[in-house]
Structure 1
Amino acid sequence: MKIKLICDSMCDIPEEIVNKEFVEMIPLTINIDGKEYKDGVDFTKEQFYDILKKCDNLPKTSQVTYVDFKNIFEKYTKEGYDVICITGSSKASGTFQSANLAKADVEGNIYIFDSLFLSLGSGQYVIKASHLIEEGNLNASEIIQELENMRKDVNLLFVPFTLEYLKQSGRLPSVVSFVGNMLSIKPICTMEDGKNKIVSKVRGTKQIASKLVDMILELNDGNVEDKIITIGYGSNEDDFKRLQEEVSKKINAKKIYITRGGSCICSHTGPEILAISSSY
C-alpha cells in the first residue's frame, strides 16, 4: 500500500513526524502588515515569533486554497498513492472545505479528515496516522476509521500568556482581557466541537506548567502509560523548561513528543504559549 499523509499548517507536529518521507505539510498563507507569507516556508517558527512582536497589526491567516490541494492531490494520486489529508478544524478555517472541493475534481483514493482541533490537538491525529502507516497493517480507509474512533480520546489544553492577541482578534471581550492582564489571570483553554473554550484559570505564570500536567492527568483518569503526550511552546523557553520538569516528574507515557506553536495558532494567542495534548 502506498499512502501519502498530508496535513495543513494548522496542525503543529513534531519535527520527527514532519520529516517522515510519506508526510507533507501544506502551508496556510499569513498576511503581516500587508505582505503575504507562506507559513513555515518564508520564515521559521522562531523568526515568526520575532515578527509577531514587531508587527503593527494582528497577522491574518488565509486557508489553503482549492488549487493548492488540487495540485498536490493530483501529484500523488498520479504516482499511485492513496491520500490521507488531515486538516485543522473546519470551524476555524475554510481549509477543510477547500480540500473537499479539490477531492471532487481529482481521480483517485483521497480521504479528508476534519480534526476539529488546532495545533497540538490536530497534531495528535497526524501522529497517529503516521504510526499506522509505518505499521503497514491498514489501508487508507481503515486508518481514517481509526482516527474517527479516537475522537473521544484526544485532549488539548493550552495557555496564552497574554490576552491582548485574543482581544484584538475578537475572541475575547476587551473588559475580560483588561481585567485578566491586570490581575495576571491566564485562561486554560481547550477545543470543544471545533471551537475554543476556556475550562479553567490560573493566577500568574509559575503555576501554569503544574496545572496543565495535573489537568491532562485528570482527563486521563490519572493514567497515561498507554498514551501519546505532546507538549509545546512558543518563544517562552524558560516556561517550557518548567513544563518539561513537571512532565518528567508526573507523567509516564508511551511516547512524549515536543513541538512548537506555529504561526496559525500564535497569530491569535501571541508568541508566548504553553500546551499539552494526549491521545492513544
Structure 2
Amino acid sequence: MVKIITDSTCDLTKERMEEIGVTCVPLTVHIGNDIYLDGVDLSKAEFYEKLRTEKSFPTTAQPTPHTFEEVFTAALEEADEVVCLLISSELSGTVQSANIAKNTMEREEIHILDSRTTCLSLGLLVEIAAQRAKEGKTAAEIMTELEGLTSRVRICAGIETLEYLKKGGRLSGTAAALGTMLNIRPLMGILDGKVLMLGKARGNKKMYAQLKQMVEEEGIDDDYPVLLGHAQSMENYEKFKEACGDLIEGRTQLYGDIGCVVGAHAGPGIVGIAFIKKA
C-alpha cells in the first residue's frame, strides 16, 4: 500500500483530501504578527478576509524537517511506502525540508517529488497519484508516471483584480490604476516551476474565452481528468465552467479551491483550469 502526501498549496479541499486518503502538510502563513498553519487554523475564507482587511502583506514559510519526520513516521505505520508530491522548489523550500527529513530517517520507502508546479496543477497531480495508489500501483510505478507528467501539467488562470498585484509589489500603482480603468485581467500560468504572466484580457467574459483558447492550443491529454477551481468566487467559477463548455464535456472534472500561495498575490476572484498537455 502506498500513502500519498502533499502540502497545503495543492488547493484541494480538506474534504476531498480526506475522501481520497491524502495527507496534507501545511505551510505556515504569516500575517502581521500572527502565524497560522495553512488550512489548519486558517481556512481559505479566513485567509481572504484577512487579505482584504490587514495592512501587512501575507507571507508563507515551508514546513520544518521535523514536521515531515512526524508525518512520514505516521504514514509508514499504515502504509508500506510513501509518495510525497510538493510545491515547486523554485517557489518554496518545502522539498528541501522533506528531503532533510527523509535523509535523517534513512528510509528508502519514502519517495519525494518536486512537482515543479503548485496550486490547481499540483492538485491535479495529487489526484492522479491517489488514483494510482487506489489501483494498487507501487511507489516506483507512481513516481515514474508523475515524473513524466511534471513537464506536461499545465494551469491557466485569470486574475479579476489588480489590487493585490500592486500590494505585493508586482505592479506599480500607476499601472494598476490604468489597468483597473481599462478592465484588464492578467492571465497566468506555471512553467518550469515558475509563475508566468501569459497575457491579458479586458473583462471577465474575454478572460474566460482566452483561458479556454490557451487550453485548446496546448491540447488536453484524454487519459487524464481536468481540474477547475476558483478563489472565493463561486459565481466566477460557474461562469468559467460554462464558458469552457465543449472543452470539458465528457471529461472527468475535479474541483479546487485556490488558497494562499497564489491568492496572496492575485486576491479573490481568480479562476483557473489545470490539465495534462498532450504528449
TM-score w.r.t. the length of structure 1 is: 0.91
Instruction: Tell which deviates more after alignment, 112-121 or 146-155.
Output: 146-155
What is the SS of the residue equivalent to 1:158?
strand
Q: Deviations over 1:63-94 (max 9, x none)?
A: 11111111111222244531111111111111
**Mapped partners of 1:96, 1:117: distance in 2:** 12
Q: Deviations over 1:15-63 (max 9, x none)?
A: 5641236311111111112101111111322222222211111111111
> 1:193 corresponds to which residue?
192
> 2:112 corresponds to which residue?
112
C-alpha RMSD of matched pairs (Å): 2.0
1:210–1:246 CA contact under 8 A, matched in 2:
yes
For residue 169 of structure 1, report the CA deviation from its aligned partner.
2.5
Please state if 1:4 is matched with 2:9.
no
- The verdict on how the C-alpha distance between 1:200 and 1:165 changes in structure 2, with shifts beyond 3 A counting, is same
What is the SS of the residue equivalent to 1:187?
strand
Map 1:89-238; keep pairs closer than 5 Å: 89-108=88-107, 109-136=109-136, 138-220=137-219, 225-238=222-235
Q: Deviations over 1:152-171 (max 9, x none)?
A: 32111111212232233233
**Mapped partners of 2:243, 2:132: distance in 1:** 29
Q: Deviations over 1:90-131 (max 9, x none)?
A: 111111111111110114311110111110011121011011
Map 1:52-91; keep pairs closer than 5 Å: 52-91=51-90
2:162–2:176 CA contact under 8 A, matched in 1:
yes
Q: Deviations over 1:152-201 (max 9, x none)?
A: 32111111212232233233455543432332211111112111111121
> 1:273 corresponds to which residue?
270
Amino acid of the structure 2 residue aligned with 1:9: S
| Structure 2: stretches of 5+ with no match in the other structure | none
> 2:35 corresponds to which residue?
36
1:234–1:273 CA contact under 8 A, matched in 2:
yes
Please state if 1:257 is matched with 2:274.
no
- The verdict on how the C-alpha distance between 1:172 and 1:113 changes in structure 2, with shifts beyond 3 A counting, is farther
Amino acid of the structure 2 residue aligned with 1:146: E
TM-score w.r.t. the length of structure 2 is: 0.91
**Mapped partners of 1:201, 1:135: distance in 2:** 41
2:155–2:189 CA contact under 8 A, matched in 1:
yes
1:89–1:96 CA contact under 8 A, matched in 2:
yes
1:6–1:26 CA contact under 8 A, matched in 2:
yes
**Mapped partners of 2:67, 2:14: distance in 1:** 23
**Mapped partners of 1:80, 1:121: distance in 2:** 26
Question: What's the % identity of the aligned pairs?
Answer: 34
Amino acid of the structure 1 residue aligned with 2:234: E
| Structure 1: stretches of 5+ with no match in the other structure | none
